[in-house]
Amino acid sequence: MPAESEIILHHYDASPFSEKVRLMFGLKAMAWRSVIQPTIMPKPDLVPLTGGYRRIPVLQIGADIFCDTQVILAEIERRSPGADDLAGPGFAVNFWADRLFFQVTVPVIFGQLGDKVPRAFIEDREKLSGRPFDVAAMQAAPFRCASSSAPRLPGSTRRSPAATSWPARRPGWPTSPPI
């Protein structure tokens, strides 16, 4: 493969988004090179390359730079098409996992880590998001689930009306008996 078309992934090991891209490279049996980036700012090799974009992963192919996991996966699929790996329902599930599920799991994970989260990481994420990265609040937040078999909040005897009415708005979907 000529140097100008080498596939280079800028990433760090603990990134779940990077892991998705690495797994896709493996599934597609694609050759790629690795550039490990810091988990927090400064990222002196990445930010100038991306024009200020600081998130991970970033894919570099020659002079082309691909930011955002969805864009990267689409480019991998374009270069090595498979059996609808990223089309239809697969794309929807992937998008859900990246955008919705990830945002819900972050407080659960960091709430469990507690005081093991490095201060530099907290400060970096506060600068990135523009809001407090409050590990104590993450630890205090109860995990909520609409499942009838899920643990209930202390003092709670029933699920929220929104959670119990959701199946009723989906004809043909199984429902659980109200509590």
User: What whole-number distance in Å separates Cα of residue 73 and Cα of residue 51?
Assistant: 21
Residues 59 and 123 in one domain: no
Of the two residues 173 and 62, the one the predictor is more confident about is 62
Q: Structurally, how many domains does the chain consist of?
A: 2
Of 44, 79, 114, the last residue of a domain is: 79
Give me the long-range contacts of 47-56 (CB less than 8 A, separation at least 24).
Answer: 49/10, 54/128, 56/10, 56/11, 56/12, 56/15, 56/17, 56/18
Residues 112 and 47 in one domain: no
Query: Which domain, by its residues, includes 22?
Result: 3-79
Between vectors from CA 93 to CA 92 and to CA 98, what angle results, nearest 5°?
100
pTM exceeding the 0.75 threshold for the entire prediction: no
User: What whole-number distance in Å separates Cα of residue 28 and Cα of residue 8?
Assistant: 15
Question: What percent of the chain has pLDDT above 90?
Answer: 44
Residues 38 and 73 in one domain: yes
Q: Is residue 25 part of a domain?
A: yes
Of 11-15, 21-25, 84-88, least confident by mean pLDDT is 84-88
Phi, psi of 35, rounded to the nearest 5 degrees: -125, 110
The single residue listed with the structure tokens 């630890």 is: 139
Check residue 149 and give its pLDDT.
Answer: 41
User: What whole-number distance in Å separates Cα of residue 179 and Cα of residue 176?
Assistant: 9
Taking residues 98-109, report their average pLDDT: 82
